[in-house]
Structure 1
Amino acid sequence: MTKTERREARSSAIFNKQAAAYAAVQSIKMLSPKVMIKNPVMFVTEMGAVLSTISLFAVSADAYAVSVTVVLWFTVIFANFAEALAEAKGKAGADSLKQVRRETVCTRFVDGGSEQIVSSELKVGDRVLVADGGIIPCDGEVDKGIASVDESAVTGESAPVIRESGGDRTGVTAGTKVLTGSIEVIVTAGAGESFLDRMISLVEGAVRQKTPNELALTVTLSGLTLAFLMVTVALLPMGRYFGAELSIPTLTALLVCLIPTTISALLPAIGIAGMNRALAANILAKSGKAVELAGDIDTILLDKTGTITVGNRQAVEFVPVEGVTGRKLAETAMNASYGDTTPEGKSIVVLAEKLAGLEADIPDGAEIIIFSAHTRLSGVDREGRKLRKGAYDAVTAFVQQNGGLIPPDLKEITDRIASSGCTPIVVAEDNEILGVVSLSDVLKAGIQSRFARLRSMGLRIIMVTGDNHLTAKAIADEAGVDGFVAEAKPEDKLNYIRKEQKGGRLIAMIGDGTNDAPALAQADIGVAMNSGTQAAKEAGNMVDLDNNPTKLIEVIEVGKQLLMTRGALTTFSVSNDVAKYFAIIPAMFILAMPHLAGLNIMRLASPESAVLSALIFNAVVIPALIPLAIKGVRFRAMGADALLRRNLLIYGLGGVILPFAGIKLIDMLLSAAGIF
């Protein structure tokens, strides 16, 4: 089964018998006023049903009053059913995740030794060993070793991934399995706080909060409900004045038909379904707001290494400056890479061993200089010698500070390597530059076509990288992005995002490293790779379980689909009130004001049949629209004006026409059955 088929299967699973049975039970439990008050419109509907029920016992109950009361209760239950059915999908997802989360016996290092311990007893900062065939017991970061890890239980992908110390592929998730290799993991989340625990909590809906857009719509709907409530209450004395006795069931039916019950009933389901659709695309959204906001993003900022490129740049060539031998350069580059645990550093050692047959020669007491985003160089201090490798400007500045000169051919060498799309790493010993190591970047498969699709949606794609301008330009041209920021430090990414935001743009940042964390936190949407560091995953408001930088396509489509669905159903809900006016208003006052018969354009059989037909249509349209609310309006890549026109045509005009046909059909069925 393909990945798309698996997602479709998960999407359709919500409509199975188990989900429907769960939703049916929940829809009754949710009748509690404490639950219903969260949705003011449906709370008013429930209170109307209660009032109508009371009137059955206070006044002589006839078939009409009983029918109205029953339909009112079904309206409330159908609304609860819509929300419960959406939650059923989250519950099903949570149940499958709970099967992944299990107690695991693991080896924890303690006091120079080790001990066997169950995963629930691990604490943040503990160090555990996971060998071949072992289940990773905790969320953490690889501190030592390298392993092939099966993450299918979390991501659904069958292909194993590599996790290793150093670089930005250190993150591991509880419940995943080590296939080959051995790693030492430092625990970053305690019991009940793991990534998997948070996923379970989110998909169960326990922490789902209304988004700003949803809150604004709820306030608007509540205002409309209050206005119609005042109008309905005023109709009671008005009816008496004109000699028309209006019963409690009739007034309640009018109120329920006039207030926006359809969109209010489906609004919670739309929000829950949005997060579920994101999860179905293997995107963990930490809030509904993040999903909704994704629909308005106009600029995407991507870190190059690990997102646009595969991430593991490989040393492919040693290029010495004039007067230096290739062997001398290779030997110095190898020794300068001692202690460098990054894939790039390891590849330099491998290339030196392969081409020159060298072995690292580092005496005890040598000082390792760790690479940092600020210094942009690394190396070794040994026996009075300073071996360095790093970016052109960083190494040349180091050499000049030590009284050295810059070789005249160095610039030409680095420019040639950079213009070919590779990354030049300058190597120096003390105050002498020896040459350049060429590191080759590899673009992720299919990245260009994915970027083209993002641009077709009106999005700008900006690449950020610590590489020099020439290297950045070569990679940017090959990948097909709209622009790039070269030689970027963490603060440069942050400042760029702030600058764009001040210009009114909404920014999405995608990254996987600790140095991406500030930018991920500042961006409107921060998508962290699941393979990335814990700092990146904590800073972002979304986590991509597939580690696919172009996954933002799915995120944006889900966000736009959520907004489109909410807008479409709101338009439909408001427009279908027109038919109800023509059904109920004449029915209520036709005896006192016979000339209102002209408004009965549907030629409904009787006043009772008109009220009941409108009320039944108002109730049944809710479950009829549940599939649309949960699956969402189909996303189409078109402009906002075109989308508005399309929604007004389909859901606005359709919302006017369909109720006329539906109410008339129900009226005909009631008349044919001899009920009214």
Structure 2
Amino acid sequence: MSTTPITPPASAPRSRKPSSAFGVRQLAASLPDAFRKLDPRVLWRNPVMFVVEVGAALTTALAIAQPFLGTAAQTAASPTSLAFIWSIAAWLWLTVLFANMAEAVAEGRGKAQAKSLRESRTSTLANRVASYDAAADAGAENSELQQIASADLTLGDTVVVSAGELIPGDGDIIWGIASVDESAITGESAPVVRESGGDRSAVTGGTRVLSDRIVVRITSRPGETFVDRMIKLVEGASRQKTPNEIALNILLASLTIIFVVVVLIINPIAAYSNAEQSVPVLVALLVCLIPTTIGALLSAIGIAGMDRLVQHNVLAMSGRAVEAAGDVTTLLLDKTGTITYGNRQAAEFAALSGVDAETLATVAAASSLSDPTPEGKSILTLATEQGFTFPTTVDGTVVPFTAQTRMSGVDYADGSSVRKGAGSMVSAWVAESSTLTDAQRAELDAIVTRISQVGGTPLVVARRDTSGVASVLGVVYLKDVVKTGLAERFADLRRMGIRTVMITGDNPLTAKAIAEEAGVDDYLAEATPEDKMDLIRREQRGGNLVAMTGDGTNDAPALAQADVGVAMNTGTSAAKEAGNMVDLDSDPTKLIDIVGIGKQLLITRGSLTTFSIANDVAKYFAIIPAMFVASYPGLAALNFMGLHSPASAILSAVVFNALIIIALIPLSLRGVTYRPGSVSSILGRNLWIYGVGGLIAPFIGIKAIDLVIALIPGF
């Protein structure tokens, strides 16, 4: 199908709760996949575990052939006995199976989510408009509609969706406003408002219109809808290995090759002192030498990182994006809605001398009649509350607010016009024919400075009469509030070596006041889309990785340029296509959490790699003395664990090597606990915990296993 409508559940949870990292139910569900992954055509992509599988197959073949060769030893304690060989073979197969289990469990959590999405798919009919002209037919009211299956919709088609109907595909609203239930996608049961002409015009196939009527232009190709991509991502079908993961895989493969060569030349060298070893013992040595622990868990760590984002209602378009989030050094944050609550409200009409408040309020309201933003609506509310009257219709051309002009207003039919917006932009608009005196200019600057210094946003209001003479009337004070707790979070980011930059269209004084209150490191005032791009490029040229959020079409170039671009789900299709992550909750502050999840992924991978290497070092003390103690009795001094026999020592190391993998699966899925701090402090803490822990754990584990094996008759 080209689209994937979803029937929303009766009640949807607010957020996706993480499931148990490694429960019995998940184990049972993942077991078939773990066995399927034993296929060498699948396993060869993991060189470490492929070598283990080859060793397991070779040992199994030797165990089968041993009785026919007539060389079986009489005691199980001998490293050449049939019981020993079968034991080694069995635990080598379990080692591979446990490694496959780690990946299967990680993938299974995503597949369960994908399955629920597939099961909720329903086919729906779409009311396609053959030829759409908003000016001619007022939103397809009188157009001829053609009912077709949603699967037959193509890129660029126009459809009409009424209250109670499912939106048949991803698209942008080009006419109308409606309340939409997006619970099937976001998990949020409260409906949201989507409307044409702004940054909240994107709609997702499968969501339901609850009220009104909208016209939607389809922006997704068949099979490439948002839900199609969501299914592929959560089930891991489109996960690509990240650069760091590829580099680590190359390192592990190189170490494996080196140790294969080392093991192959042991017997020719040992032959000079009659210390040759049996093939099962050499295979056991190889498996304990190579980094099987991290080789088994590496893929699961990457999959689990993306899964943790899904649990936070964030979709990463690639594992590369998750990893890049962990390496971010510069965070670009919009002021409105991210650092401040974003519901700026008009609090005061500050008129210049010689201008009465009613004139200022009337002109400000007139310029806000067609302004759909909360700020514009609050100006109308304030004017009404203060008893001022103003026209309720516009006899002229509406000039909408844009990120470039940072003004809005009306050009009337009689030649006059009004504007409200950023001081610098309004000043430029009135500059050619301004009647502003030096005293008025000083008074205007004083009002703007007063409002800016308290963190407010000053909107300058101006009017141009029919003769073309412009005059500034005064300032509207927009009040905003910095979100609580952000200063502490920014301090945590600073300790992690991450620089925060606030981006705002406000003037420098307002930007400075908000930046100081919020505790950000830097700010970019009066920012245009081009300014954002320039800032990102400067940071990247300086060797920094940049993350930012955005929701509008004007944010798309910057989102595409940033190393981590998080698009809001409420934003336009252009923004979501440009970013490499989509926040289903449309919460700009979640960028901070995304960086934390990325760092947790990197820390988890590094910690378990450290543990694996330290783990291998400790295992040498169990196997090497046991292998050569018969030929070199002095090596018995290295057997300070007091292992029962050479055979039990070797088998204990192999058993521990297998069991440690399954013991670490929950940690690889859950992730190492992440606490904000400097790189050096995090590195030092993890070296102590996972480096020293990796050295100590094998001695305890191997000794415990050896005590159990010693109870088996013959060992």
State if a TM-score over 0.5 links the two structures.
yes
Structure 1: runs of 5 or more not aligned? none
Superposition pairs of residues 442-591 of structure 1, within 5 angstroms: 442-443=480-481, 445-446=483-484, 448=486, 450-451=489-490, 453-455=492-494, 457-591=496-630
Change (3 A) 1:373 1:636: closer
- The answer on whether the counterparts of 2:434 and 2:470 sit within 8 Å (CA) in structure 1 is no
Change (3 A) 1:126 1:531: same
Change (3 A) 1:6 1:620: farther
For 2:151, the aligned partner's letter is S
Q: After TM superposition, give the deviation of residue 642 of structure 1 in Å.
A: 2.3
For 1:63, the aligned partner's letter is A
Q: After TM superposition, give the deviation of residue 346 of structure 1 in Å.
A: 4.8
Instruction: Tell me the residue number matched to 2:48.
Output: 41
For 1:375, the aligned partner's letter is T
Instruction: Tell me the residue number matched to 1:412.
Output: 446
- The answer on whether the counterparts of 2:155 and 2:221 sit within 8 Å (CA) in structure 1 is yes
Matched, 1:380 2:414: no
For 1:638, the aligned partner's letter is G
Instruction: Tell me the residue number matched to 2:63.
Output: 56
Give secondary structure in 2 for the equivalent of 1:356. coil
Instruction: Tell me the residue number matched to 2:183.
Output: 152
Superposition pairs of residues 77-92 of structure 1, within 5 angstroms: 77-92=97-112
- The answer on whether the counterparts of 1:166 and 1:342 sit within 8 Å (CA) in structure 2 is no
Change (3 A) 1:309 1:6: closer
Matched, 1:265 2:296: yes
Instruction: Tell me the residue number matched to 1:10.
Output: 18
Distance 1:534 1:638 in 2: 36
For 1:82, the aligned partner's letter is A
Deviations along 1:604-654, one digit per CA (max 9) or x if unpaired, are 222222211111111111111111111111112232222222222222122
TM-score (norm 1): 0.92
Q: After TM superposition, give the deviation of residue 252 of structure 1 in Å.
A: 0.9
- The answer on whether the counterparts of 1:307 and 1:512 sit within 8 Å (CA) in structure 2 is no
Deviations along 1:15-49, one digit per CA (max 9) or x if unpaired, are 34442223211111111222111111111111111
Instruction: Tell me the residue number matched to 2:231.
Output: 200
Instruction: Tell me the residue number matched to 1:214.
Output: 245
For 2:41, the aligned partner's letter is K
Matched, 1:601 2:626: no
Change (3 A) 1:611 1:87: same
More displaced stretch, 407-416 vs 493-502 = 407-416
Superposition pairs of residues 187-336 of structure 1, within 5 angstroms: 187-311=218-342, 313-336=344-367
Superposition pairs of residues 398-437 of structure 1, within 5 angstroms: 398-402=429-433, 405=436, 407-408=440-441, 409-420=443-454, 421-429=456-464, 430-436=468-474
Change (3 A) 1:495 1:566: same
Change (3 A) 1:265 1:235: same
Distance 1:81 1:318 in 2: 66
Give secondary structure in 1 for the equivalent of 2:566. strand
- The answer on whether the counterparts of 1:315 and 1:437 sit within 8 Å (CA) in structure 2 is no
Distance 1:210 1:168 in 2: 33
State the identity as a percent: 54
More displaced stretch, 338-347 vs 648-657 = 338-347
Distance 1:155 1:604 in 2: 56
Distance 2:694 2:206 in 1: 48
Q: After TM superposition, give the deviation of residue 247 of structure 1 in Å.
A: 1.9
Structure 2: runs of 5 or more not aligned? 1-12, 73-81, 132-142
Matched, 1:371 2:378: no
- The answer on whether the counterparts of 2:447 and 2:475 sit within 8 Å (CA) in structure 1 is no
Change (3 A) 1:494 1:156: same
Give secondary structure in 2 for the equivalent of 1:672. coil
For 1:425, the aligned partner's letter is V
For 2:99, the aligned partner's letter is A
Deviations along 1:528-563, one digit per CA (max 9) or x if unpaired, are 222122222222222222222221232122112111
- The answer on whether the counterparts of 2:360 and 2:461 sit within 8 Å (CA) in structure 1 is no
Distance 1:653 1:431 in 2: 78
Distance 1:6 1:376 in 2: 35
Instruction: Tell me the residue number matched to 1:102.
Output: 122
Instruction: Tell me the residue number matched to 1:438.
Output: 476
Change (3 A) 1:349 1:632: same
Distance 2:48 2:112 in 1: 29
Which of 26, 29, 37 in structure 1 is aligned with 2:36? 29
Distance 2:401 2:17 in 1: 46
Q: After TM superposition, give the deviation of residue 331 of structure 1 in Å.
A: 4.3
Change (3 A) 1:196 1:76: same
Change (3 A) 1:11 1:133: same
Which of 419, 426, 446 in structure 2 is aligned with 1:395? 426
Deviations along 1:453-473, one digit per CA (max 9) or x if unpaired, are 544545332211112122323
Q: After TM superposition, give the deviation of residue 437 of structure 1 in Å.
A: 5.1
Q: After TM superposition, give the deviation of residue 660 of structure 1 in Å.
A: 1.4
Give secondary structure in 2 for the equivalent of 1:495. helix
Q: After TM superposition, give the deviation of residue 199 of structure 1 in Å.
A: 1.4
Distance 1:90 1:205 in 2: 7
Instruction: Tell me the residue number matched to 2:390.
Output: 358
Q: After TM superposition, give the deviation of residue 240 of structure 1 in Å.
A: 2.8
- The answer on whether the counterparts of 1:447 and 1:550 sit within 8 Å (CA) in structure 2 is no
Aligned-residue CA RMSD (Å): 2.7
Distance 1:221 1:196 in 2: 36
Distance 1:140 1:436 in 2: 41
Q: After TM superposition, give the deviation of residue 433 of structure 1 in Å.
A: 1.9
For 1:577, the aligned partner's letter is D
Change (3 A) 1:404 1:127: farther
Distance 1:512 1:274 in 2: 24
Distance 2:556 2:459 in 1: 26
More displaced stretch, 102-111 vs 70-79 = 102-111
Deviations along 1:211-258, one digit per CA (max 9) or x if unpaired, are 111111111111111111001000122233322342221111111111
Give secondary structure in 1 for the equivalent of 2:547. strand
Distance 1:179 1:17 in 2: 41
- The answer on whether the counterparts of 1:136 and 1:173 sit within 8 Å (CA) in structure 2 is yes
- The answer on whether the counterparts of 2:127 and 2:148 sit within 8 Å (CA) in structure 1 is yes
Change (3 A) 1:414 1:166: farther
For 1:415, the aligned partner's letter is T
Distance 2:181 2:16 in 1: 23
Change (3 A) 1:328 1:311: same
- The answer on whether the counterparts of 2:363 and 2:461 sit within 8 Å (CA) in structure 1 is no
Change (3 A) 1:149 1:479: farther
Which of 160, 172, 178 in structure 2 is aligned with 1:141? 172
Give secondary structure in 2 for the equivalent of 1:295. helix
Change (3 A) 1:443 1:525: farther
Change (3 A) 1:316 1:189: farther
Change (3 A) 1:161 1:362: closer
Matched, 1:172 2:192: no
More displaced stretch, 68-77 vs 297-306 = 297-306
Change (3 A) 1:593 1:17: closer
TM-score (norm 2): 0.87
Aligned pair count? 669
Instruction: Tell me the residue number matched to 2:6.
Output: none
More displaced stretch, 378-387 vs 281-290 = 378-387
Change (3 A) 1:455 1:151: farther
More displaced stretch, 244-253 vs 397-406 = 397-406
- The answer on whether the counterparts of 1:106 and 1:137 sit within 8 Å (CA) in structure 2 is yes
